[in-house]
Amino acid sequence: MFKGSMVAIVTPFTNGRVDEKALGDLIEFQIRNGTDVIVPCGTTGESATLSHEEHHRVVEFTVKTVNKRVPVVAGAGSNSTDETIELTNYAKKAGADGALLITPYYNKPTQEGLYRHFKKVAESVAIPIILYNVPGRTSVNMLPSTVARLREIKGIVGLKEATGDLKQISEIIRLCGRDFDVLSGDDFTTLPLLALGGAGAISVTANVAPADCAGMYDAFSAGKMEEARKLHFKLEPLHNAMFIETNPIPAKTSLALMGRIKEEFRLPLCPMSDANRDKLKKALKEYGLI
Catalytic sites, residue numbers: 132, 160
Q: How far is it, in rounded angstroms, from Cα 204 to Cα 29? A: 15
Region of residue 228 (left: phi > 0; alpha: psi -120 to 50; beta: else): alpha
Query: Which pairing describes strands 156-161 and 129-133: parallel, antiparallel, or unpaired?
Result: parallel
Query: Which pairing describes strands 17-18 and 13-14: parallel, antiparallel, or unpaired?
Result: antiparallel
Q: How many residues does the chain have?
A: 290
Closest listed residue to residue 258, CA positions, set 7, 6, 12, 5: 12
Closest listed residue to residue 88, CA positions, set 118, 46, 43: 118
- Per the CB < 8 A criterion, the answer to whether 76 and 84 are in contact is yes
